[in-house]
Amino acid sequence: MAAPMELSCWGGDWGLPSLHPESLTVMAYAKFSGAPLTVNTISNSWRAPKGDVPVLISEDIVISQPAKILNFLRKQKYNADYELSAKQGADTLAYIALLEEKLLPALLHTFWVEAENYCSVTKPWFASRIAFPLRFYLPGKMSRAALNRILLTRGGPPLCSLTEVEAQIYRDAKECLNLLSKRLGTSQFFFGHTPTTLDAFVFGFLAPIYKVCFPRVQLQEHLKQLPNLCRFCDDILTCYFRLTVSGHSPAGQDTADANLQKLTQLVNKESNLIEKMDDNLRKSPQHPPRKLTTLKLAAGGEGSSPLNRLSP
């Protein structure tokens, strides 16, 4: 089958497998398409924080952007969009563009530019996960890159001050959330009953807004007023990310579950057997206790040995 694939990305918290939208998108897509990925959270590696997160490594191939990673997975036959029509594929591209243009600036702002959020949540969280001494430099760099991106793509002459740009990007983001909510409607995923690339992207962008606890949360409050989007995030988290932080591959998790189940059944059977034997013992005629019990014990040697083993 396919060569083993390893994904390096930022870790998670607040119930999410990762805090980074792009990493989350790739992880969600891998779950949807059944691709066996081993996830490494970046912490002490010097190599990883080059601005190229998430990174997929498969044998000698290194791929860095989410779109390219998803393409690679599709070529390896892990395709979550198999049942989509051509028009739905086109819609996927369009909605992803909408997310990147309208929602991403506000997301970046909430995480990296909003002073209170950045100082009390984002910077400490990332700093605690990056090795010394990069932890003093990297969060600042990411923050400056985010601000740069917002100003260059959104700031123009009439919106010279940051506060005006902020107002505009949050308006756009709320409009985008409304549009997504209308498009999702009451269905479970964006294209019916199976999740696709678009669901991975939307989840990747929405989940951090939904779950991370910031002091300044206007976007989260707006999102919470759209119950179908909240339900969408919760569904994906419970169905696909049951073991949120450890990063086991899905196959391993399933066998562990199955083993646990078998063990529980065995223990139940044993305890039933012990109860039966107990009953038999009580019903049998009561001779002087010591001799008979020893006799009984000796006679039912094999039967009672589990009793001996399991009793505390």
Partner 1 sequence: TLCFQAFLQMCNLPIQVVCRANAEYMSPSGKLPFIHVGNQVVSELGPIVQFVKAKGHSLSDGLDEVQKAEMKAYMELVNNMLLTAELYLQWCDDVTVEEITHPRYGSPYPWPLNRILSYQKQWEVRRKMKAIGWAGKTLDQVLEDVDQCCQALSQRLGTQPYFFNKQPTELDALVFGHLFTILTTQLTTDELSEKVKNYSNLTAFCRRIEQQYFEGHDKDSSATAPARSAKRSLLR
Contact positions vs partner 1 (CB under 8 A)? 65, 86-87, 89-91, 93-95, 97-98, 100-102, 145, 148-149, 152-153, 156-159, 179-180, 182-183, 185
Closest distance to partner 1 from the beta carbon of 40 (Å):
23
User: Which amino acid would we find at residue 11?
Assistant: G
**Residue 134 vs 145, nearer CB to partner 1:** 145
| Closer CB to partner 1, 156 or 215, in the complex | 156
Q: Which is nearer to partner 1, 69 or 212 (CB)?
A: 69
Q: Are 6 and 40 in contact (CB under 8 A)?
A: yes
Residue 23 to residue 7: CA distance in whole angstroms: 9
Q: How far is the CB of 166 from partner 1 (least distance, A)?
A: 17
H/E element, 211: helix 197-211
Q: 31 or 109: whose CB is closer to partner 1?
A: 109
* Shortest distance, position 157 Cβ to partner 1, whole Å: 3
Q: What is the smallest separation between the CB atom of 249 and partner 1, expressed in angstroms?
A: 30
**Distance (Å, whole) CA 159 – CA 174:** 19
Least spacing, CB of residue 197 vs partner 1, in Å: 13
**Of 218, 223, 220, 209, residue with least CA distance to 181:** 223
Choice between 177 and 237, CB closer to partner 1? 177
* Beta-sheet strands, E only, within the chain: 5-9, 37-41, 55-58, 61-63
Span between the terminal Cα atoms of the chain, in Å = 47
